[in-house]
Chain A
Amino acid sequence: MSEEGEVTGEFEREPVSDRALLGAGKFWGMYAGEHAAGTEFMIGPLFLAAGASLQNLILGLLLGNFLAVLTWRFLVTPIAIAKRLTLYYQLERIAGGSLVKFYNLVNGLLFCFLAGAMVTVSASAVGIPFGIMYEVPEATFGFGAPSFTVLVAIVGIVMAIIAAAGYEMVARVANIAAPWMISIFAACGIVSLVQMDATSLSVIRDGKFWSDAIAFVQAENLVNGNANADFGFWKCVIFAWLCNAAMHFGMADLSIFRFARNPSSGWAPAIGMFLGHYMAWIAAGLLLAAQIKLSQDTSANPGALAWGALGWTGIICVVIAGWTTANPTIYRAGLAFQGILPGSSRATMTLIAGAVATIAGAFPNLSNQLLGFVGTYGTVLGPMGAVIFVDFYLIKRFGLQEEYAAHRGVKINVAVLVAWLLPVSVGLYLIFAKEFYAAYAVVPCWVACGVIYLALSKFTQKPISL
């Protein structure tokens, strides 16, 4: 078996061996193709729709992405290299197998929502040649046009069947498409600038084309009786920093960096951040600004936006971006569901995950709330990373047992359960009941989770006889 084949199929429940370690170049190459995904087609326009100024976007995303890279480098990579275990196996050793299954189930349900948004994105592009338009209803759980709902169902079923067959084929398409997709994002942004007559440095620096688009959106909101959102500099910073909180603060990317030969590999997400979460977001935002200027249409329909800039290539890009993002998401959700019902087949569970994602995709308003969802996703999953952080750096210093569940043989470590659910419950209450900006909740929940885990461990850990 080749080196790459080994790394994907082995070491699920053991440290990665020295012979399977990879150099930093491998990680730079890999991350170059990451984070330019279907979500970018939704997130970029949503920044404009939320009223983020161009200056705040350019500077805020710059700082936020830099903070994200620092988090990967200095939070995730040292633990990944020291332990060389997957997130799930590390959590199992600390929290217990049953609790990890529950965490995985929550993860899977959130993945279904994310995949649903990608089904919507892909359907928005598939519908363009057939004149089927993506329209966002007022109600969160309102359907779009019947023809669009049928299209979502068809796209979702096809994606679920492909995901049930495994991740390999689509992963290969995703790897092949990655450089092309980045190029298409850039081309979309450049064409949009020309469509707005922003063809000189002074006009681009002035940014009037962007502020005009925001003014148009806000005027339309007033006419429709909707409140205008306030999306300032720090919201841009925190969103860019924490939209991948599940991967860095939540330590999901331990599963990737456990293969790193040296810590310098931890800088590699920089290329993904600045191509996907900087260039691609801004380019996608420019698509909406151009559409507003050309047709006074404020709907963030990814398919129509890409069509307006690059025609058929834009359509193909949105479909592939949505599909290649949804596929691993549905696949992972299927694995999570299978973990709850060990006797079930992975294919069946993947189809169920695909069905849930398709139902979520039928509600266009859900994908339109992707900015909030991504923050909520980090708030729910991120804190588990604090448990790993405390267990790795602090727990022995307080005279406590690391990897308590593995040593004690417990299925649920109550200290972890409470430390995770308590701050997350408070965070979700603030987000949903008090309309707190979701990404702001991530770090407080992370810190609270770590502190509670440490404090409760002091009271709940029983001596282990060796």
Chain B
Amino acid sequence: MMNQQILKIVSLCALAATIVPSLLFFLGLIGQNAVTVAALIGTFVWFAATPLWMGHEPEIDDKEVQI
């Protein structure tokens, strides 16, 4: 349970790494290169951490087509 909480916090930080740097870029605090690097790191961490806690059971809409 404790591990799950930690993993969720890691995922949240990873998600933040994909969006917060773009806001800092918007405010002129960092460059675009830093945004792309942070987003890539955030992406790898998100896909490494999130499958470890996100439910494995199929959702009711998984077979449905969405546009």
* Distance in Å: Cβ of A299 to nearest Cβ of chain B: 21
User: Contact at A35–B66, with CB atoms within 8 Å?
Assistant: yes
- Taking a contact as CB atoms under 8 Å apart, the answer to whether A190 and B25 are in contact is yes
Interchain residue pairs with CB less than 8 A apart (24): A2-B57, A4-B58, A8-B60, A8-B62, A8-B63, A34-B61, A114-B67, A168-B62, A171-B62, A172-B51, A183-B18, A184-B18, A187-B18, A195-B32, A199-B28, A247-B64, A252-B65, A256-B60, A311-B39, A311-B40, A313-B36, A313-B39, A328-B62, A377-B67
* CB 8 Å contact bits of A293-318 with B (1 = contact, 0 = none): 00000000000000000111100100
Known: A186-B19, A191-B35. A167 touches B67 (CB 8 A): no
B60 touches which one: A30, A184, A377 (CB < 8 A)? A30
User: Contact mask A320-340 → B, CB, 8 Å, 1/0?
Assistant: 000001001101100000000
Name the contact of B40 in the complex, choosing from A176, A199, A259, A313 (C-beta under 8 A): A313
Inter-subunit contact A374/B67 (CB<8 Å): yes
Q: Does A415 contact B (CB under 8 A)?
A: no
Taken together as a complex, chains A and B put the C-alpha atoms of A180 and B50 apart, in Å, by: 10
A432–B37 CA distance with the chains assembled, in angstroms: 46
The answer to whether A310 touches B39, judged by C-beta atoms less than 8 angstroms apart, is yes
Q: How far is the CA of A37 from the CA of B64 in the complex (A)?
A: 13
Residues 5-32 of A at the B interface (beta carbon under 8 Å): 5, 7-8, 22, 30
CB contacts (< 8 Å) of B46 on chain A: these are: 180
A332 and B67: CB pair below 8 A? no
Is there an interface contact between B62 and A34, defined as CB atoms closer than 8 Å? no
By DSSP majority rule, is chain A's interface helix, strand, loop, or mixed?
helix
What separation, in Å, do the CA atoms of A30 and B54 have in the docked complex?
13
User: Given the complex, which residues of B lie within 8 Å of A22, measured CB to CB?
Assistant: 60
The interface residues of chain A lying within 8 Å CB-to-CB of B27 are 199
B39 and A184 contact, CB distance less than 8 A: yes
What CA separation (Å) do A175 and B11 show in the bound complex? 14
Chain A residues with a Cβ closer than 8 Å to the other chain, count: 55
Q: Judge if A53 is at the interface, Cβ distance under 8 Å.
A: no
Residues in B neighbouring A34, C-beta threshold 8 A: 61, 66
- Chain A residues with CB under 8 Å of B43's CB are 180, 184, 313, 316
1/0 per residue, CB under 8 A from A, across B45-57: the answer is: 0110011001111
User: Counting chain B CB atoms within 10 Å of each CB, which of A183, A190, A195, A374 scores highest?
Assistant: A183
Contacting residue for A37 out of B21, B32, B50, B66, CB 8 A: B66
> Could you tell me if A171 and B59 are in contact, using CB atoms closer than 8 angstroms?
yes
- A368 CA / B43 CA spacing, docked (Å): 28
Q: Are B64 and A187 in contact (CB under 8 A)?
A: no
Between A179, A180, A331, A377, the greatest number of chain B beta carbons within 10 A of the residue's beta carbon is seen for A180
A272 contacts across to B, CB distance below 8 A: 66
Of A171, A194, A243, the residue contacting B26 (CB under 8 A) is: A194
Would A183 and B19 be within 8 Å (CB), given that A191-B32, A310-B39, A316-B43 are in contact?
A: yes
Q: Which residue from chain A places its CB closest to the CB of B32 in the assembled complex?
A: A191
Q: Give the shortest distance, in Å, between A418 (CB) and chain B (any CB).
A: 27
Please measure, in the bound complex, the distance between the C-alpha atom of A332 and the C-alpha atom of B65, giving whole angstroms. 8
B15 part of interface (Cβ distance < 8 Å): yes
Asked whether A350 is an interface residue with its Cβ less than 8 Å from the other chain, the reply is: no
Are B40's CB and A325's CB within 8 A?
no
Q: Least Cβ distance of A277 to chain B in Å?
A: 9
Chain B residues whose CB sits within 8 angstroms of the CB of A310 once the complex forms: 35-36, 39
Q: How far is the CA of A76 from the CA of B49 in the complex (A)?
A: 37
Contact of A328 among B39, B50, B63 (CB under 8 A): B63
